[in-house]
Structure 1
Amino acid sequence: MTVTRLHTFPHTEPDPHHPYTSGAWRPVFDEFDADGLEVIGEIPRDIDGIYVRNSENPAFGSIGLYHPFDGDGMIHTMTFRDGKASYHNRFVRTKALMAEVEAGQPLWAGIAEDPRLSKRPGWGAHGGVKDASSTDVVVHAGKILSTFYQCGEGYRLDPYTLEQFGTEGWVPLDGISAHPKLDEATGELLFFNYSTHAPFMHYGVVGPDNRLKHYIPIELPGPRLPHDMAFTRNYSIMADLPLFWDADILAKGRHAARFHPDMPTRFAIVPRYGQPGDIRWFEAEPTYVLHWMNAWEEGDEIVLDGYFQENPSPSALQAEGDPRLGQLMAYLDEHSFQPKLHRWRFNLATGETREERLDDRVLEFGSFNQQVAGEKSRYLYSTFTQPGRFLFEGVVKHDMDTGKSETLRFGEGRFGSEAPFAPRVGASGEDDGYLVSFITDMVEDRSECVLVDARDIEAGPVCRIILPHRISSGTHATWADGPTVRAANGLS
């Protein structure tokens, strides 16, 4: 076993009473390189690649009420090859974080606060807030790209060493949204952004050479708060959702999201390299959707799966301290906003939309085999959470052909991350591989990386790799194929 603590990052001690800086969400400040770690079970030899997770891990918190989406980006990786694994973690050295290190204090108000409280100009659609680069993560053109909730600059890191290369050079003025999409078949990265000024949204394509190839406006009626997008082999799909900032309050410089149930959900469907005149708009039932799953073309139809919220504007939960904390917690509690796995069908010939519910359970933060992204997929893997808290308790595997499902619970006091699918070396089918996740174990006071056979998730982990520290609970993660990443970096 070789464990090297490289650095303890400058920080202030987190609030032990805030639900998202304590317990399973307690941030960590040590940065490690580690291999030869303790393994419960045996690491399979037929997994080759990198599991990458981003984390909201605040070094200095935020001015005023802290929201977990304010937390600084921390990248955790577990690299697998030849039955061995190594772990690394680093803070994302954003411009904002390094300015706070120099100041020794928070400089930006969080998204739950009035951005005018910030001590310096900020970034993103919210204006005035910190680009923490702590939301999502993808691996494109051989490098990790970390992204921010309300449109940031995007930061690049080496997938093996976590060496940092600063911001992406191709990113437009309005930034990139939290969830750019990698098309593994073409190597292209698809993205959108949004802002408070016309045309309010843009869409773009970055080539496998990491150069911007296409960028067009998508005109909206006003400022919106979309969070995710989807794609098929020939089309990209963006959404105009009826939950967005109250226009009258926004005019006064403050941000308060409101659900407008009298407005439809609208979908913009555009050819991958299409122009504004090529956009087709479709209407559907009013809702809010944080995350889409796969999409594909089926005859005249485009089929899209995602998580339809039944209650996009939930009532506040009980919380001590700041009275706004209860509302913050409700918007993080899936059992409050009630996301359900849902399917939309857009008919390009008739302009009609059809919808259907796929599962009545509260589910979100799903994954699927990215090798079939943009094509019809059979299997989805959705997570479910602890009521009242933003903590993943397990995974549900859906067989979309048979309608059957299987469930894996991580265990009492064990909370996972998004669990992407890692294809087995020489895989013979869509679900022939592993689900990978970091687990924060509050009973054992430690963290693990677990591998679960995707063909039998109810059997539980095939191996558990013990990390050198207990890491904060987290959300978005990705899997990157080892041979692909090595080739992009000139490695064998």
Structure 2
Amino acid sequence: MSHLVNRIEATLQPTDNPYLTGAWTPNFDEYDADNMEVIGTIPADIDGIYVRNTENPVHEPIGRYHPFDGDGMLHMMRFSSGKAEYKNRFIRTKGFEAEAEAGEALWAGFTVHPKKSKQPGCGIGSHMRDSSSTDVLVRNGKILSTFWQCGDGYLLDAESLDTLGIEEWTPVEGLSAHPKLDGNTGELMFFNYGDKAPHMHYGVVGPDNQLKHYVPIELPGTRLPHDMAISPNYSILNDFPMFPIPEALENGYFIPQFDSTKKARFAVIPRYGASEDVMWFEADPTYVLHWTNCWEEGDELVLEGYHQKSPMPAPLANMEPPHSLLYANIDLHSLRPHLHRWRFNLKTGATTEQRVCDEEHVEFGNINPEYYGREHRYVYSAHGEKGWFLFNGLVKHDLKTGTATKVLFGEGRFGSEAPFIPRKGATAEDDGYIVSFVTDMVQDRSECVIFDAQNLEQGPVCQIILPHRISSGTHATWAGAEELAT
């Protein structure tokens, strides 16, 4: 049965914006649900929570809307003993509460001139709402959500989804999305970036939740990094040749450019290293949104992620201006990412790199979490819908054989980042499950689907029908019951 807990009063008006309609239609209802309709059987050998973050705007935007501007909403499925419970809640950020009180949007999006914002905000140009709508992870038994352009880290209760407040160690410069948790030590590594020198900082939070380390990482100017990676002894940050046009930024306009004449640069720093300990490595120019893993092999550090062949793509053919150019930058078929590995020799300073899989148009990858920090064989990627920031299927990469298995969700069905759930008593790296929320535009509903990771082609082992159709989303995480108990 489902229970409507709350309904948020929205001010959005009818629109033709492709990321406020269709599979991206926002939700304003908050639910608790159990005993939902199940097609198939929920595996009894998983115990924990699957949580997805979602960009879900409430108020009529100031200027042109971009999906990265939406308010954060978490959707959570709790699994135990072959049963499932669902909850969804808005993240009650300071910006969400301020706009609820004002009854309107107060901040312009990142593609809109900052002078249109009604209050100072966060991010490059300081004119965006910190919506905490990008990344999500579970640490110390609580959920941590973050924003892509460096805002506060928000904590939520892992049972009720109540917003608990801001992480006390959040630096004044904020933190970017994608902090990295070392499950063996309990340490959390993070970074931030901005339009003021030194343009980047790197930090470490101890298992006691105290900020242990925080150092500047000097960059030549404003950059747009999105993710970082860690190995057992090192952290890797980046300086890609993707940055706002300086002259436009001086006039308040956020216009990214990619300079293919500049190298991609990687900053390798010991986990508790000082600024002067950074080792810089250069590679062929590209842009990478997300990494899958990083590990150490002798004198080398191996980094794996999604290399973009076309970081600054042409306008989309399926959309009219102004959408055609703006949204090309979030279409995987335009960016053409593929799995790639970089090797950094810590003794010689040399970089080597290679493509490791032929499959393109894939991103938002996951591996078995027990293999973080050491070499893995399998990666599970989201596959992009052509012309859209939507994911129409999953791809399992076997990096030992160099093969890929693609499974599409079906016509009009779109999922999100799909974490790997190790099976209890697993005997192989791929012995477990893949989980995702799927929005079905044909049947006008949403589901939580679970696949057997060793048999993706057989389709989902179960489909749990949610009490409402939810907006499409991106980042997600899995946390086992033992992580929730810490």
- Sort the TM-score into its range (normalised by shorter chain): over 0.9
Alpha-carbon distance in 2 for matches of 1:174, 1:267: 21
Alpha-carbon distance in 1 for matches of 2:412, 2:252: 41
Map 1:436-447; keep pairs closer than 5 Å: 436-447=435-446
Tell me which residue corresponds to 1:183.
Answer: 182
Query: What's the CA shift for 1:168?
Result: 1.3
Amino acid aligned to 2:200:
M
Tell me which residue corresponds to 2:41.
Answer: 42
Residue 344 of structure 2 aligns to a residue in which SS?
strand
Q: Is the 2:140–2:483 contact (alpha carbons within 8 Å) kept by the matching residues of 1?
A: no
- Where does structure 1 differ by over 6 angstroms across 4 or more consecutive aligned residues? none
Alpha-carbon distance in 1 for matches of 2:150, 2:368: 26
Alpha-carbon distance in 2 for matches of 1:364, 1:173: 31
Choose which of 326, 333, 336 in structure 1 pairs with 2:334.
336
Amino acid aligned to 1:358:
V
Alpha-carbon distance in 1 for matches of 2:12, 2:194: 34
TM-score (norm 1): 0.97
Tell me which residue corresponds to 1:356.
Answer: 354
Tell me which residue corresponds to 1:367.
Answer: 366
Tell me which residue corresponds to 1:347.
Answer: 345
Residue 327 of structure 2 aligns to a residue in which SS?
helix
TM-score (norm 2): 0.98
- Write out per-residue CA displacement over residues 227-251 of structure 1, whole angstroms, 9 at most, x where no aligned residue: 0001111110000000101112222
Alpha-carbon distance in 1 for matches of 2:481, 2:109: 37
Amino acid aligned to 1:453:
D
User: Is residue 2:252 matched to residue 1:256?
Assistant: no
Tell me which residue corresponds to 2:30.
Answer: 31
Tell me which residue corresponds to 1:451.
Answer: 450
Query: What's the CA shift for 1:409?
Result: 0.9
User: Is residue 2:424 matched to residue 1:425?
Assistant: yes
Alpha-carbon distance in 1 for matches of 2:128, 2:266: 28
Query: Which moves more between the two structures, 351-360 or 262-271?
Result: 351-360
Alpha-carbon distance in 2 for matches of 1:232, 1:61: 43
Tell me which residue corresponds to 1:76.
Answer: 75
Q: Is the 2:300–2:343 contact (alpha carbons within 8 Å) kept by the matching residues of 1?
A: yes
- Write out per-residue CA displacement over residues 284-305 of structure 1, whole angstroms, 9 at most, x where no aligned residue: 0011111111011111111111
Q: How many residues align?
A: 485
Amino acid aligned to 2:325:
Q
Tell me which residue corresponds to 2:467.
Answer: 468
Query: What's the CA shift for 1:15?
Result: 3.7
Query: Which moves more between the two structures, 448-457 or 426-435?
Result: 426-435
Q: Per the alignment, do residues 126 and 305 of structure 1 end up closer, same or farther by CA in structure 2, a change over 3 Å counting? A: farther
Tell me which residue corresponds to 2:136.
Answer: 137
Tell me which residue corresponds to 1:308.
Answer: 307
Tell me which residue corresponds to 1:219.
Answer: 218
**Amino-acid identity (%):** 59
Query: What's the CA shift for 1:408?
Result: 1.4
Q: Per the alignment, do residues 316 and 344 of structure 1 end up closer, same or farther by CA in structure 2, a change over 3 Å counting? A: same
Alpha-carbon distance in 2 for matches of 1:163, 1:329: 33
- Write out per-residue CA displacement over residues 96-119 of structure 1, whole angstroms, 9 at most, x where no aligned residue: 111111111111111111122100
Alpha-carbon distance in 1 for matches of 2:414, 2:385: 9
Residue 288 of structure 2 aligns to a residue in which SS?
coil
Q: Is the 1:180–1:190 contact (alpha carbons within 8 Å) kept by the matching residues of 2?
A: yes
Tell me which residue corresponds to 2:10.
Answer: 11
Q: Is the 2:449–2:463 contact (alpha carbons within 8 Å) kept by the matching residues of 1?
A: yes
- Write out per-residue CA displacement over residues 263-322 of structure 1, whole angstroms, 9 at most, x where no aligned residue: 10000001111111211100000111111110111111111111111111112224767x
Q: Is the 1:14–1:22 contact (alpha carbons within 8 Å) kept by the matching residues of 2?
A: no
Q: Is the 1:14–1:26 contact (alpha carbons within 8 Å) kept by the matching residues of 2?
A: no
Map 1:80-119; keep pairs closer than 5 Å: 80-119=79-118
Tell me which residue corresponds to 2:386.
Answer: 387
Amino acid aligned to 1:410:
F
Residue 388 of structure 1 aligns to a residue in which SS?
coil
Amino acid aligned to 2:341:
R
Alpha-carbon distance in 1 for matches of 2:328, 2:451: 31
Q: Is the 1:54–1:137 contact (alpha carbons within 8 Å) kept by the matching residues of 2?
A: yes
Q: Is the 1:137–1:478 contact (alpha carbons within 8 Å) kept by the matching residues of 2?
A: yes
Q: Is the 1:124–1:174 contact (alpha carbons within 8 Å) kept by the matching residues of 2?
A: no
Map 1:479-490; keep pairs closer than 5 Å: 479-485=478-484, 487-488=485-486
Query: Which moves more between the two structures, 91-100 or 181-190?
Result: 181-190
Q: Is the 1:303–1:345 contact (alpha carbons within 8 Å) kept by the matching residues of 2?
A: yes
Residue 306 of structure 2 aligns to a residue in which SS?
strand
Tell me which residue corresponds to 2:168.
Answer: 169
Alpha-carbon distance in 2 for matches of 1:409, 1:320: 23
Q: Is the 2:55–2:133 contact (alpha carbons within 8 Å) kept by the matching residues of 1?
A: yes
Amino acid aligned to 1:181:
K
- Write out per-residue CA displacement over residues 30-57 of structure 1, whole angstroms, 9 at most, x where no aligned residue: 0001111111011111001100000000
Residue 58 of structure 2 aligns to a residue in which SS?
coil
Alpha-carbon distance in 1 for matches of 2:13, 2:86: 25
Query: Which moves more between the two structures, 290-299 or 425-434?
Result: 425-434
Alpha-carbon distance in 2 for matches of 1:319, 1:60: 27
Alpha-carbon distance in 2 for matches of 1:473, 1:455: 26
Query: What's the CA shift for 1:404?
Result: 2.3
Q: Is the 1:50–1:479 contact (alpha carbons within 8 Å) kept by the matching residues of 2?
A: yes
Residue 5 of structure 1 aligns to a residue in which SS?
strand
Residue 328 of structure 2 aligns to a residue in which SS?
helix
User: Is residue 2:188 matched to residue 1:152?
Assistant: no
Query: What's the CA shift for 1:124?
Result: 2.2
Alpha-carbon distance in 2 for matches of 1:111, 1:317: 20
Tell me which residue corresponds to 2:323.
Answer: 325
The answer for unaligned runs of 5 or more in structure 2 is none
Q: Is the 1:225–1:243 contact (alpha carbons within 8 Å) kept by the matching residues of 2?
A: yes
Q: Per the alignment, do residues 319 and 429 of structure 1 end up closer, same or farther by CA in structure 2, a change over 3 Å counting? A: closer
Alpha-carbon distance in 2 for matches of 1:288, 1:126: 22
Q: Is the 2:226–2:289 contact (alpha carbons within 8 Å) kept by the matching residues of 1?
A: yes
Amino acid aligned to 1:172:
P
